[in-house]
Amino acid sequence: MSASTETAFEVYPNPVTAFTTITFSLNQPENITIMLFSVEGKEIGSIVDAYYAAGNHKVNFFNNFQSNTSASLAAGIYFIQFKTNKEMVTRKVILEGN
């Protein structure tokens, strides 16, 4: 995939203490999904599943995210997966204890 078609996707700060910001830039409008996975690859839950216009976007993600199991996240390593119709990008995040 050429650099001109790649989607910019960043997660900061990392390690995460209270919250992290997920930023992304789209060249064209499209549906995006941002999912959270455990270090074992188990799907924990959806952060975003929506249609976004072309341009720059920002989503705040809090460490008290309620997972599919209704439990707050424990400190540890997680993966945030960003997916469009054309690509999928994954970033490792470290969640520190409060």
**What is the structure's pLDDT at 2?**
37
| Tokens of residue 61, six digits | 């993600």
**What is the structure's pLDDT at 62?**
73
pTM of the full structure: 0.83
Distances (CA, A) of 58 to 10, 48, 90: 10, 11, 16
54, 7 Cβ separation under 8 angstroms: no
34 domain residue, yes or no: yes
Local mean pLDDT, 10-residue blocks, the chain (98 residues): 59 87 93 94 92 95 58 86 93 86
22 domain residue, yes or no: yes
29, 61 Cβ separation under 8 angstroms: no
Structurally, the chain folds into a number of domains equal to 1
43 domain residue, yes or no: yes
**What is the structure's pLDDT at 65?**
60
**CATH number of the domain within which 66 lies:** 2.60.40.3080
